[in-house]
Chains A and B, each alone.
Chain A
């Protein structure tokens, strides 16, 4: 199944965050609100506009994602790396502290 996810960076530390169904920002993609239809996508776009003027996050945008066996993952390698951390340093980024995702960046 494919759909969209709203992401941003947290202002105070720069960490990558995802917009959740309870309208929070979470470090984990597994918490993300997955927009599979127009209505939810519109909600994400409203939130994107709100995020731009807010103080909590910055550089918000929506990316393409898919859901396999209940696991959410970005479609494009760029977003997968952003969700996990550098592929050349498994000890850094979300992949190193349990906030990553149950998928690989490159396959």
Chain B
């Protein structure tokens, strides 16, 4: 895992020190809220519906056991015994007091964590594949590049005053688990015919009120030219991005208004001017960083593990869990374990401090003391021996962390919505709870198969509803919550934005509507065809008819 160098340490400690001083001056009345607000936001402190909220960055979604333990301690010391894992691989505390914030941030800094770049018009925490470095289908571990981008963006003065916030996602695998096509910039690693590695550079994707799929700016960019090329993209954006209107300031609007070809031409022209000056430095820096991401020492194991196979045969629940929650590892004899933070009727992404301690311990025992956080609000133990899976499952089960629903209909993504969020127009969590209870039966979930439901509590789309196979958006109609349903969204390598089906539903009708959609799909699917493929084959019409026939 990446270790801070001297410079990072000093930078983070200094920032905490400055913020301590600023908080004192705010509490003592020397700073007004108008003066203080930008300062607190720079340090990840928001004011939400009930209290302050602190958003902590988890760079490229990777945590050590020690860091997870510290996050749990913070939940106990400064908050109410739980934390919320978000759709941007961050973690949020919902109740910290402003007066405690500097101590809290110091505690985070002890384990090399901070809340910088989780807010404001800067390049935000870079996100990536939660299986980075271990996925069986991976071309290369994307995390060294994420770290390179973090360093490049955190210190680049030009990038702290962008027209709007800026989000970058990176995948090193052909199966896109990082939703790169709905980010301001998305990067996909490819190998060309000569066996050389390069980046497909995408730009102009995004969600929010104007959802868009990114365009490919460059099909194949030699690996070490990345920063120079991104610099060119940022220059075009900084030069032409609209600062006059908050809703038009994202790069997606610029790409859309200029058109894909003109945008590409501008970036290439800008890049030609720069003359790829950084390549050598970049190559060296990337090598330096990559050393920190060197894979752990794996045991030499057989591809199959007999006791594991036996356990699967003997225990149906374990077999289900393996089917949905365990994924292929690149090293033989190992597996990736996905921990669902979506128990039936639970709050998506919430974990108690107790559960966080358990995960930290289990990671230490079974997974090289490493944990990942996914943008679908789940956790991952990346390096588990097949022979340990059964014992691990038992232990996860006793901490209520073994729900066998990852990637299934119960694995619902939901933003905090009106239960916590000051910007919300409706609640999201109770809708997730209703739907998950409706589909409580695991056998039914496994029968339905791969299906994502994403719920946002307002048009800002933190719950990624546009790219859920089924998307739910909570709105306010004359003081009443109501919910719009979209179908056909997807954030993988064939990304698409969902289409609105028709008039919205009251909160207590949503679970029925979802059930109607699912039953319609089951009636239409051919063999094992997943939901999204059936939808793409038949279109929205049969679903509309089924939903609105009585209306």
- Whether A88 sits at the interface, judged by CB under 8 Å, is yes
Which of A13, A77, A89 has a CB less than 8 Å from the CB of B98?
A13
Bitwise interface map of B from 465 to 480 toward A, beta carbon under 8 Å scored 1, else 0 = 0000000000000011
Among B49-57, B257-265, B374-382, B383-391, the one that faces the other chain is B49-57
Residues of B within 8 A of A58 (CB): 33, 47
Which of A9, A54, A75 has a CB less than 8 Å from the CB of B479?
A75
Which of B26, B424, B433, B480 has a CB less than 8 Å from the CB of A88?
B433
Which of A14, A77, A87, A89 has a CB less than 8 Å from the CB of B51?
A14
Residues of B within 8 A of A11 (CB): 26-27, 33, 98
Residues of B within 8 A of A88 (CB): 347, 419, 427, 429-430, 433
- Whether A93 sits at the interface, judged by CB under 8 Å, is yes
Closest chain B CB from A46 CB (angstroms): 18
Chain B's closest residue to A87 (CB) is B419
- Whether B99 sits at the interface, judged by CB under 8 Å, is yes
Which of B47, B418, B427 has a CB less than 8 Å from the CB of A9?
B47
Some 16 contacts from A to B, beta carbons below 8 A apart, are: A11-B26, A11-B27, A11-B33, A12-B97, A14-B47, A14-B98, A16-B51, A52-B33, A55-B27, A58-B47, A76-B479, A81-B418, A81-B427, A86-B420, A87-B419, A93-B50
Q: Are B418 and A13 in contact, with the CB atoms below 8 A?
A: no
| Count of inter-chain pairs, beta carbons less than 8 A | 73
Q: Are B99 and A12 in contact, with the CB atoms below 8 A?
A: yes
Q: Are A53 and B50 in contact, with the CB atoms below 8 A?
A: no
- Whether B80 sits at the interface, judged by CB under 8 Å, is yes
- Whether B481 sits at the interface, judged by CB under 8 Å, is yes
Bitwise interface map of B from 189 to 216 toward A, beta carbon under 8 Å scored 1, else 0 = 0000000000000000000000000000
Closest chain A CB from B65 CB (angstroms): 27
Interface residues of A (CB under 8 A from B): 9, 11-16, 52-55, 58-59, 75-78, 81-82, 85-89, 92-93
- Whether B296 sits at the interface, judged by CB under 8 Å, is no
Assembly CA distance A55 to B429 (angstroms): 34
Which of A16, A53, A87 has a CB less than 8 Å from the CB of B430?
A87
Chain A's closest residue to B507 (CB) is A106
- Whether B28 sits at the interface, judged by CB under 8 Å, is yes
Assembly CA distance A55 to B33 (angstroms): 8
Assembly CA distance A96 to B54 (angstroms): 22
**Which 5 pairs from chain A and chain B are nearest by CB?**
A55-B29, A14-B51, A86-B419, A14-B52, A13-B97
Assembly CA distance A14 to B27 (angstroms): 12
Residues of A within 8 A of B28 (CB): 55
Residues of A within 8 A of B80 (CB): 92
Q: Are A87 and B427 in contact, with the CB atoms below 8 A?
A: yes
Q: Are B50 and A86 in contact, with the CB atoms below 8 A?
A: yes
- Whether B32 sits at the interface, judged by CB under 8 Å, is yes
Closest chain B CB from A49 CB (angstroms): 13
